Amino acid sequence: MSALVGFDLDRTVVYSAAALMLDGPDEDAPSLVVTEVYQGLPLSFMTRTAERALAALAETSVVVPVTTRTVAQFQRIRLPLPTSGWAVTTNGAVVLHDGTPDESWTATLREEIAATSAPLPEVEHRLAAALPEGAVLRTRRAEDLFVYAIVERAELPDAAVEAFAAELTDLGWRVSVQGRKLYAVPVPIRKERALAAVAERTGATRTIAAGDSLLDREMLAWADVAIRPAHGELNAVGWTAPNLVVTQARGVMAGEELIGLAAAATVQTTT
């Protein structure tokens, strides 16, 4: 039996300085390694123990980063994984194999989006009109498939997000807030669909998935074993499932813990 492990990245495996949640004394802080540099500065981190555990896991299982990041944003991430392998970016809209996008996969999704979801420009217009003035600092398109906004959280009431999400539901889109980013994504673009395609192509017989946001929910429900950290959107709403394990730790230490939990889950494939 072979195992496939799909990991969300931000606030699941890698953490910005603001998301580390190192609550103890400074002298007890774990050793950190830089996993991302942006404009010459370190941006994301994981613990050294997590890095070693992830490298060991990749020796025995197919480890697949699964992220809402665009391809360009994903390429900034440095993880101890084989250069020849699989990755899912753009929330499932892009499947990479050995660094090359599967164009047929993305083309099929574009056809589904055109048939089931409102056009991207309409959603961009509604985003600008629905959220309070001062809440949105700037917006960006992801591969011309969906939009995300950099927001000022103090200026963005939960009620405004909920109302915007309800509005987009009728248009075949959904909304998620992760840190200072608000995502609006067409319903056909889902992480678990892309990860299932990778599982089929690799012949995986057992699947493990980890994530922290609402956009990870279907991926976790799909997997044989699901893991989420004790923080993030899913934790805030108390999301649970029969296949779910929740970490004891929060922040970057949760990232370390969930890699260990995933490794333990893969061992069960041989028992």
Topology given in CATH for the domain delimited by 118-186: Gyrase A; domain 2 (3.30.1360)
Residue 269 confidence (pLDDT) above 70: no
Instruction: State the Cα angle at 260 between 256 and 265, rounded to 5°.
Output: 145
Closest-CA residue to 64 (of 52, 82, 47, 51): 82
* Spatial distance between the Cα atoms of 142 and 6, rounded to a whole number of angstroms: 21
pLDDT tens track for 168-207: 999 999 999 988 999 999 999 999 999 999 999 999 999 9
3-class state of residue 56 by DSSP: helix
- Kind and range of the H or E run holding 130: helix 120-130
For the chain, which residues make up each domain, given as ranges?
A: 3-102+189-270, 118-186
- Do β-strands 94-97 and 32-38 pair in parallel, antiparallel, or remain unpaired? unpaired
Instruction: Tell me the pLDDT band of 271, cut-offs 50, 70 and 90.
Output: very low
The pTM for the full model equals 0.91
pLDDT tens digits along 43-102: 999 999 999 999 999 999 999 999 999 999 999 999 999 988 999 999 999 999 999 999
Alpha helices in 20-157 (DSSP H): 48-60, 71-74, 103-116, 120-130
CA distance 52 to 65: 16
Say how far apart CA 39 and CA 181 lie, in whole Å: 19
* 10-46 residue pLDDT tens: 999 999 999 999 998 999 999 999 999 999 999 999 9
The pLDDT of residue 267 is 84
The answer regarding whether domain 3-102+189-270 maps to CATH 3.40.50.980 reads no
Intrachain domains 3-102+189-270 and 118-186 with the same fold: no
Question: Is 70 exceeded by the pLDDT of residue 1?
Answer: no
| Residue 216: DSSP 8-state | G
